[in-house]
Amino acid sequence: MHESGTAGGCGAPGPEFLALERELAVLLRRARASSAELAREVHPDLEASAYGLLVRLADAGRQRATDLAAYFGVGRATMSRQLRALEDLGLIVRTPDPDDGRAWLVGLTAEGHERFARVRAARRDRYVRRLASWDRREIAELARLLHRLNSPGATGGPARPARGHRAAPAPGAGRAGSAEQD
């Protein structure tokens, strides 16, 4: 990426970075609107920002609130408030951490899993329709690049799993050509 832009070099960014900024702005605006709609489909009182928590818990399983806060890059108070709201709606439950009696793990309830799975399936159906003309390799490449962009660190390396808890698989891991990312 050092050839015509300045991802790691010196000088002014090239036009590809302006195009990237423009496309990401549109994508993020649409994603916010979509998350609000999806959250309401899970539960009418669910905040849009909480939908991502459900995605993470469904993919990675039970986790500590501090690990979730670190994963999303938010403060513990913000995470606590969002988890409390999900718990009040009956979508998550806190259980003692068997590895540390002082800590709690957060996971989906049966109702939370059922509601989320239904909405996620509908969302994936929309992705399939939207990307029907794309080659599966293009979809897999898009998922790979988005994963790299979302990974912490300057090199885009994979995120480390939280201590004692399994990490969600990378997009397409074990499923060649998969387009099942949220």
pLDDT attached to residue 152: 75
pLDDT attached to residue 21: 92
**Measured distance CA(16)–CA(21) in Å, rounded:** 9
User: Any residues with CB less than 8 A from the CB of 70 and at least 6 apart, and which?
Assistant: 162
Q: Are 92 and 108 in contact (CB under 8 A)?
A: yes
DSSP annotation of 179 reads -
pLDDT attached to residue 31: 87
pLDDT tens digits for range 113-161: 999 999 999 989 999 999 999 999 999 999 999 999 888 763 444 444 4
The band of 24, judged by pLDDT with boundaries at 50, 70 and 90, is: very high
pLDDT attached to residue 34: 86
pLDDT attached to residue 101: 84
Conformational region of residue 73, where left means phi above 0, alpha means psi within -120 to 50, and beta covers everything else: left
Phi then psi dihedrals of residue 85, to 5 deg: -65, -40
**Measured distance CA(49)–CA(38) in Å, rounded:** 10
**Measured distance CA(128)–CA(35) in Å, rounded:** 18
Question: What ranges make up the beta strands (E) of the chain?
Answer: 92-97, 100-108
In this model, does residue 180 exceed pLDDT 90? no
3-state secondary structure (DSSP) of residue 126: helix
Place of tokens 């992705």: 127
Q: Which of 83, 98, 100 is nearest to 46 (CA)?
A: 83
**Measured distance CA(141)–CA(147) in Å, rounded:** 10
pLDDT attached to residue 164: 41
In this model, does residue 170 exceed pLDDT 50? no
In this model, does residue 163 exceed pLDDT 60? no
What are the extents of the domains in the chain? 15-150
**Measured distance CA(4)–CA(30) in Å, rounded:** 29
The band of 7, judged by pLDDT with boundaries at 50, 70 and 90, is: low
pLDDT attached to residue 175: 37
Assigned CATH for 15-150: 1.10.10.10
Residue that wins the pLDDT comparison between 33 and 5: 33
Where helices occur in 43-75 by DSSP H, the ranges are 51-60, 65-72
